[in-house]
Amino acid sequence: MKIYVTGAYGPSQELESLREAGHEVVLGRPVDQPGRRPYTEQELVEWCRDADVIMASHQDTISRAVLAASQNLRLVVVPLVGVDKIDVPAATELGIVVANSPTTLDIAATAEATIALMLMLLKRIKHNESKLRRGEWSRRADLGWLVAGKTIGLVGLGRVGAHVARRLQGWEARFLACDPYVAPETARPLQVSLVNLPTLLADSDVVSLHAALTPKTRGMIGEKELKSMNRAAFLINTARGELVDEEALCRAIEGGWIAGAALDTFESEPLPMESRLRTLDPKRVILTPHNAAHSEAGRLADLKLAFDATLSALRGEVPKHTVNPQVVAQWRQRFGGTKAGRIR
Protein backbone atom coordinates (compact mmCIF):
# COMPACT_ATOMS: atom_id res chain seq x y z
CA MET A 1 0.00 0.00 0.00
CA LYS A 2 1.09 3.61 -0.57
CA ILE A 3 1.94 6.03 2.20
CA TYR A 4 2.40 9.65 1.14
CA VAL A 5 4.47 11.81 3.50
CA THR A 6 3.85 15.45 2.61
CA GLY A 7 6.75 16.71 4.71
CA ALA A 8 9.39 14.46 6.23
CA TYR A 9 10.53 15.55 9.71
CA GLY A 10 13.91 13.84 9.48
CA PRO A 11 16.06 11.57 7.31
CA SER A 12 14.21 9.17 5.03
CA GLN A 13 15.84 6.22 6.83
CA GLU A 14 13.50 6.91 9.76
CA LEU A 15 10.64 5.67 7.56
CA GLU A 16 12.29 2.30 7.02
CA SER A 17 9.94 0.46 9.38
CA LEU A 18 7.05 1.35 7.06
CA ARG A 19 8.95 0.01 4.06
CA GLU A 20 9.96 -3.13 5.95
CA ALA A 21 6.26 -3.79 6.57
CA GLY A 22 5.88 -4.03 2.79
CA HIS A 23 4.50 -0.58 2.03
CA GLU A 24 5.63 1.99 -0.52
CA VAL A 25 6.62 5.31 1.02
CA VAL A 26 6.42 8.38 -1.21
CA LEU A 27 8.23 11.42 0.16
CA GLY A 28 7.25 15.02 -0.47
CA ARG A 29 9.14 18.20 0.26
CA PRO A 30 11.01 17.96 3.59
CA VAL A 31 9.70 20.32 6.26
CA ASP A 32 13.17 21.70 6.99
CA GLN A 33 14.02 22.31 3.32
CA PRO A 34 15.19 25.94 2.95
CA GLY A 35 12.47 28.04 1.36
CA ARG A 36 9.93 25.21 1.53
CA ARG A 37 6.45 26.28 0.56
CA PRO A 38 3.29 24.41 1.55
CA TYR A 39 1.67 22.28 -1.14
CA THR A 40 -1.24 23.86 -2.98
CA GLU A 41 -4.58 22.07 -2.94
CA GLN A 42 -4.24 21.11 -6.60
CA GLU A 43 -0.74 19.72 -6.07
CA LEU A 44 -2.01 17.49 -3.27
CA VAL A 45 -5.06 16.42 -5.30
CA GLU A 46 -2.82 15.22 -8.11
CA TRP A 47 -0.01 13.84 -5.97
CA CYS A 48 -2.03 11.89 -3.38
CA ARG A 49 -4.65 10.47 -5.75
CA ASP A 50 -3.61 6.84 -5.14
CA ALA A 51 -2.63 7.19 -1.46
CA ASP A 52 -3.80 4.68 1.14
CA VAL A 53 -2.38 6.86 3.93
CA ILE A 54 -1.39 10.53 4.01
CA MET A 55 1.05 11.50 6.74
CA ALA A 56 0.65 15.26 6.72
CA SER A 57 2.98 17.99 7.96
CA HIS A 58 1.77 20.99 9.98
CA GLN A 59 2.29 23.19 6.91
CA ASP A 60 0.07 21.35 4.42
CA THR A 61 -3.72 21.60 4.30
CA ILE A 62 -5.60 18.38 3.63
CA SER A 63 -8.88 19.73 2.25
CA ARG A 64 -12.13 18.11 1.21
CA ALA A 65 -10.96 18.17 -2.41
CA VAL A 66 -7.77 16.29 -1.53
CA LEU A 67 -9.70 13.73 0.52
CA ALA A 68 -12.37 13.21 -2.14
CA ALA A 69 -9.80 12.72 -4.90
CA SER A 70 -7.99 9.96 -2.96
CA GLN A 71 -10.35 7.04 -3.52
CA ASN A 72 -8.23 4.49 -1.60
CA LEU A 73 -7.51 6.77 1.34
CA ARG A 74 -8.15 5.17 4.72
CA LEU A 75 -6.11 7.36 7.06
CA VAL A 76 -4.77 10.89 7.42
CA VAL A 77 -2.31 11.07 10.29
CA VAL A 78 -0.17 13.88 11.66
CA PRO A 79 3.01 13.30 13.72
CA LEU A 80 1.88 16.02 16.13
CA VAL A 81 -1.21 16.98 18.15
CA GLY A 82 -3.04 19.56 16.04
CA VAL A 83 -5.33 18.45 13.20
CA ASP A 84 -6.65 21.90 12.25
CA LYS A 85 -5.02 21.66 8.80
CA ILE A 86 -7.23 18.63 8.05
CA ASP A 87 -10.89 18.91 7.08
CA VAL A 88 -12.02 16.42 9.74
CA PRO A 89 -15.77 16.74 9.04
CA ALA A 90 -15.14 15.98 5.34
CA ALA A 91 -12.95 13.00 6.27
CA THR A 92 -15.70 11.68 8.53
CA GLU A 93 -18.30 12.09 5.80
CA LEU A 94 -16.06 10.24 3.34
CA GLY A 95 -15.29 7.37 5.73
CA ILE A 96 -11.65 8.30 6.37
CA VAL A 97 -10.04 8.05 9.79
CA VAL A 98 -8.01 11.01 11.08
CA ALA A 99 -5.43 10.36 13.80
CA ASN A 100 -2.94 12.51 15.68
CA SER A 101 0.09 11.85 17.89
CA PRO A 102 -0.57 13.36 21.34
CA THR A 103 2.57 12.45 23.24
CA THR A 104 3.06 13.64 26.80
CA LEU A 105 6.40 15.06 25.71
CA ASP A 106 4.65 17.55 23.43
CA ILE A 107 2.39 18.74 26.20
CA ALA A 108 5.25 19.22 28.65
CA ALA A 109 7.44 20.87 26.00
CA THR A 110 4.76 23.39 25.01
CA ALA A 111 4.21 24.29 28.66
CA GLU A 112 7.97 24.74 29.14
CA ALA A 113 8.18 26.91 26.02
CA THR A 114 5.31 29.07 27.26
CA ILE A 115 6.99 29.63 30.60
CA ALA A 116 10.35 30.36 28.92
CA LEU A 117 8.76 33.02 26.71
CA MET A 118 6.91 34.44 29.72
CA LEU A 119 10.16 34.81 31.64
CA MET A 120 11.94 36.39 28.66
CA LEU A 121 9.23 39.03 28.44
CA LEU A 122 8.95 39.71 32.17
CA LYS A 123 12.73 39.80 32.69
CA ARG A 124 13.18 41.95 29.55
CA ILE A 125 15.91 39.62 28.31
CA LYS A 126 15.98 40.84 24.70
CA HIS A 127 15.87 44.49 25.73
CA ASN A 128 18.83 44.11 28.06
CA GLU A 129 20.83 41.91 25.70
CA SER A 130 20.41 44.56 23.00
CA LYS A 131 21.74 47.25 25.34
CA LEU A 132 24.70 45.12 26.31
CA ARG A 133 25.61 44.45 22.68
CA ARG A 134 25.57 48.21 22.04
CA GLY A 135 28.15 48.63 24.82
CA GLU A 136 25.70 49.90 27.43
CA TRP A 137 25.14 48.66 30.97
CA SER A 138 22.14 48.22 33.25
CA ARG A 139 20.11 51.19 34.46
CA ARG A 140 17.10 51.41 36.74
CA ALA A 141 14.81 51.87 33.71
CA ASP A 142 15.89 48.44 32.41
CA LEU A 143 14.57 46.43 35.35
CA GLY A 144 12.03 43.67 34.76
CA TRP A 145 9.31 42.12 36.90
CA LEU A 146 8.73 39.13 39.16
CA VAL A 147 6.30 36.38 38.29
CA ALA A 148 5.27 36.52 41.95
CA GLY A 149 2.27 38.78 42.36
CA LYS A 150 1.38 38.72 38.67
CA THR A 151 -1.92 37.49 37.26
CA ILE A 152 -1.48 34.86 34.57
CA GLY A 153 -4.46 34.43 32.25
CA LEU A 154 -4.76 31.13 30.43
CA VAL A 155 -7.08 31.11 27.43
CA GLY A 156 -7.74 27.37 27.38
CA LEU A 157 -7.25 25.05 30.36
CA GLY A 158 -6.83 21.79 28.48
CA ARG A 159 -3.75 19.60 28.64
CA VAL A 160 -1.22 22.36 27.88
CA GLY A 161 -2.91 25.18 29.79
CA ALA A 162 -3.30 22.97 32.85
CA HIS A 163 0.34 21.93 32.55
CA VAL A 164 1.44 25.59 32.55
CA ALA A 165 -0.57 26.25 35.71
CA ARG A 166 0.76 23.09 37.35
CA ARG A 167 4.39 23.95 36.57
CA LEU A 168 4.02 27.47 37.93
CA GLN A 169 2.65 26.33 41.29
CA GLY A 170 4.86 27.82 43.99
CA TRP A 171 5.71 30.92 41.94
CA GLU A 172 3.17 32.92 43.97
CA ALA A 173 1.21 34.04 40.93
CA ARG A 174 -2.56 34.32 40.56
CA PHE A 175 -4.16 32.23 37.82
CA LEU A 176 -7.25 32.93 35.74
CA ALA A 177 -8.55 30.75 32.93
CA CYS A 178 -11.22 31.03 30.28
CA ASP A 179 -12.44 27.65 29.03
CA PRO A 180 -16.13 26.79 28.48
CA TYR A 181 -15.35 23.07 28.54
CA VAL A 182 -13.71 22.97 31.98
CA ALA A 183 -15.66 22.64 35.22
CA PRO A 184 -14.74 24.58 38.39
CA GLU A 185 -13.90 21.32 40.19
CA THR A 186 -11.24 20.64 37.52
CA ALA A 187 -9.72 24.11 37.84
CA ARG A 188 -9.79 24.28 41.63
CA PRO A 189 -6.91 21.81 42.33
CA LEU A 190 -4.77 23.88 39.95
CA GLN A 191 -5.56 27.03 41.98
CA VAL A 192 -7.12 28.52 38.85
CA SER A 193 -10.21 30.74 38.85
CA LEU A 194 -12.51 30.35 35.84
CA VAL A 195 -13.69 33.65 34.36
CA ASN A 196 -15.02 34.91 31.04
CA LEU A 197 -12.66 36.22 28.37
CA PRO A 198 -13.29 39.97 28.93
CA THR A 199 -12.49 39.59 32.64
CA LEU A 200 -9.37 37.56 31.93
CA LEU A 201 -8.06 40.11 29.41
CA ALA A 202 -8.74 43.08 31.67
CA ASP A 203 -7.22 41.53 34.82
CA SER A 204 -4.17 39.62 33.51
CA ASP A 205 -0.57 40.76 33.39
CA VAL A 206 0.25 37.88 31.02
CA VAL A 207 -2.29 36.38 28.62
CA SER A 208 -1.24 32.99 27.27
CA LEU A 209 -3.22 31.26 24.50
CA HIS A 210 -3.84 27.51 24.70
CA ALA A 211 -7.12 27.17 22.81
CA ALA A 212 -7.80 24.82 19.93
CA LEU A 213 -8.47 26.42 16.56
CA THR A 214 -12.18 26.30 15.73
CA PRO A 215 -14.52 28.61 13.81
CA LYS A 216 -15.38 30.22 17.17
CA THR A 217 -11.78 30.77 18.29
CA ARG A 218 -10.36 31.94 14.94
CA GLY A 219 -9.37 35.60 15.37
CA MET A 220 -10.56 35.58 18.99
CA ILE A 221 -7.83 38.08 19.94
CA GLY A 222 -8.51 41.13 17.79
CA GLU A 223 -8.46 44.90 18.18
CA LYS A 224 -11.26 45.02 20.75
CA GLU A 225 -9.63 42.36 22.92
CA LEU A 226 -6.14 43.88 22.70
CA LYS A 227 -7.44 47.33 23.63
CA SER A 228 -9.14 45.81 26.70
CA MET A 229 -5.83 44.46 28.03
CA ASN A 230 -3.60 46.21 30.56
CA ARG A 231 -1.08 48.48 28.81
CA ALA A 232 1.67 46.74 30.80
CA ALA A 233 0.46 43.25 29.85
CA PHE A 234 2.05 40.68 27.54
CA LEU A 235 0.47 38.27 25.05
CA ILE A 236 1.94 34.79 24.42
CA ASN A 237 0.78 32.44 21.67
CA THR A 238 2.18 28.91 21.51
CA ALA A 239 -1.13 27.44 20.28
CA ARG A 240 -2.33 28.41 16.78
CA GLY A 241 -1.47 31.56 14.84
CA GLU A 242 -5.02 31.99 13.57
CA LEU A 243 -6.24 32.71 17.10
CA VAL A 244 -4.76 36.21 16.80
CA ASP A 245 -5.54 38.99 14.33
CA GLU A 246 -1.93 39.76 13.45
CA GLU A 247 -2.65 43.19 11.94
CA ALA A 248 -4.46 44.20 15.12
CA LEU A 249 -1.53 42.90 17.18
CA CYS A 250 0.88 45.01 15.15
CA ARG A 251 -1.24 48.09 15.86
CA ALA A 252 -1.36 47.11 19.54
CA ILE A 253 2.44 46.95 19.79
CA GLU A 254 3.06 50.11 17.79
CA GLY A 255 0.31 52.00 19.61
CA GLY A 256 1.35 50.84 23.08
CA TRP A 257 -1.96 49.11 23.83
CA ILE A 258 0.08 46.26 25.37
CA ALA A 259 3.68 45.99 26.52
CA GLY A 260 4.82 43.17 24.25
CA ALA A 261 4.20 39.73 22.83
CA ALA A 262 5.83 36.39 22.14
CA LEU A 263 4.63 34.33 19.17
CA ASP A 264 5.69 30.83 18.21
CA THR A 265 2.94 30.34 15.64
CA PHE A 266 1.50 32.45 12.86
CA GLU A 267 -1.47 32.80 10.51
CA SER A 268 0.76 31.90 7.56
CA GLU A 269 3.75 29.58 7.96
CA PRO A 270 6.59 29.89 7.25
CA LEU A 271 6.17 33.53 8.27
CA PRO A 272 6.32 35.59 5.04
CA MET A 273 9.29 37.92 4.71
CA GLU A 274 6.89 40.79 4.06
CA SER A 275 4.96 40.16 7.30
CA ARG A 276 4.52 43.32 9.33
CA LEU A 277 5.33 41.32 12.45
CA ARG A 278 8.98 41.28 11.35
CA THR A 279 9.12 45.08 11.60
CA LEU A 280 8.04 45.28 15.24
CA ASP A 281 10.48 46.29 17.99
CA PRO A 282 12.51 43.09 18.64
CA LYS A 283 13.07 44.15 22.25
CA ARG A 284 9.31 43.92 22.89
CA VAL A 285 8.27 41.18 20.49
CA ILE A 286 9.73 37.66 20.41
CA LEU A 287 9.15 35.66 17.22
CA THR A 288 10.17 32.00 16.99
CA PRO A 289 9.62 29.69 13.97
CA HIS A 290 7.00 27.36 15.48
CA ASN A 291 9.70 25.31 17.18
CA ALA A 292 9.96 26.68 20.73
CA ALA A 293 8.32 23.50 22.03
CA HIS A 294 10.13 21.11 19.73
CA SER A 295 12.74 18.63 20.93
CA GLU A 296 14.42 15.68 19.29
CA ALA A 297 12.94 13.31 21.86
CA GLY A 298 9.47 14.72 21.22
CA ARG A 299 9.88 14.51 17.45
CA LEU A 300 10.83 10.84 17.59
CA ALA A 301 7.99 10.05 20.01
CA ASP A 302 5.50 11.79 17.71
CA LEU A 303 6.84 9.92 14.71
CA LYS A 304 6.48 6.58 16.50
CA LEU A 305 2.83 7.24 17.28
CA ALA A 306 2.21 8.27 13.66
CA PHE A 307 3.88 5.04 12.46
CA ASP A 308 1.80 2.96 14.88
CA ALA A 309 -1.38 4.60 13.60
CA THR A 310 -0.35 4.03 9.98
CA LEU A 311 0.47 0.35 10.41
CA SER A 312 -2.71 -0.23 12.44
CA ALA A 313 -4.90 1.33 9.75
CA LEU A 314 -3.20 -0.65 7.00
CA ARG A 315 -3.88 -3.85 8.97
CA GLY A 316 -7.54 -2.93 9.23
CA GLU A 317 -7.33 -1.89 12.88
CA VAL A 318 -8.65 1.39 14.25
CA PRO A 319 -5.67 3.63 15.20
CA LYS A 320 -5.28 4.30 18.90
CA HIS A 321 -5.51 8.11 18.68
CA THR A 322 -8.43 8.48 16.29
CA VAL A 323 -9.91 11.99 16.50
CA ASN A 324 -13.15 11.20 14.61
CA PRO A 325 -14.35 7.95 16.25
CA GLN A 326 -17.85 8.40 14.79
CA VAL A 327 -16.41 7.30 11.42
CA VAL A 328 -15.34 3.84 12.63
CA ALA A 329 -18.42 1.84 11.58
CA GLN A 330 -18.37 3.33 8.09
CA TRP A 331 -14.61 2.87 7.90
CA ARG A 332 -14.88 -0.82 8.76
CA GLN A 333 -17.51 -1.26 6.05
CA ARG A 334 -15.21 0.36 3.51
CA PHE A 335 -12.03 -1.48 4.42
CA GLY A 336 -13.24 -4.67 6.05
CA GLY A 337 -11.47 -4.05 9.36
CA THR A 338 -12.68 -6.10 12.28
CA LYS A 339 -10.23 -5.38 15.06
CA ALA A 340 -10.86 -2.42 17.31
CA GLY A 341 -7.98 -0.34 18.54
CA ARG A 342 -8.35 1.88 21.56
CA ILE A 343 -9.92 5.21 20.64
CA ARG A 344 -9.20 8.38 22.53
Phi/psi for 160 (5° steps) reads -75, -50
> Fold for domain 2-100+295-335?
Rossmann fold (3.40.50)
Nearest to 225 by CA among 162, 155, 139: 155
**24 labelled catalytic:** no
- Beta-sheet pairing, 260-263 with 285-287: parallel
Nearest to 60 by CA among 79, 177, 68: 79
Q: Which of 46, 136, 172, 269 is flagged as catalytic? A: 269
Beta-sheet strands, E only, within the chain: 2-5, 24-27, 53-55, 75-77, 97-99, 151-155, 174-178, 192-194, 206-209, 234-237, 260-263, 285-287
**276 labelled catalytic:** no
Q: Which of 174, 290, 332, 334 is flagged as catalytic? A: 290
> Fold for domain 104-287?
Rossmann fold (3.40.50)
Mean pLDDT by 10 residues, the chain (344 residues): 90 91 94 86 96 94 97 96 94 98 92 98 97 95 97 97 97 98 95 98 98 94 98 97 98 98 94 97 96 91 95 96 97 74 40
Q: What's residue 337's pLDDT?
A: 60
Q: Which one-letter DSSP state was computed for residue 104? A: H
**Residue ranges of the chain that CATH labels 3.40.50.720:** 2-100+295-335, 104-287
Q: Which of 210, 240, 284, 299 is flagged as catalytic? A: 240
Q: What's residue 31's pLDDT?
A: 86
Q: How many CB atoms lie within 10 A of CB 41?
A: 16
DSSP assignment of 173-235 equals -EEEEE-TT--HHHHGGGTEEE--HHHHHHH-SEEEE-PPP-TTTTT-B-HHHHHTS-TT-EE
**29 labelled catalytic:** no
Tell me how far apart the alpha carbons of residues 176 and 192 are, in angstroms, rounded to a whole number: 5
Which residues, in sequence order, are bridge partners of residue 146?
A: none
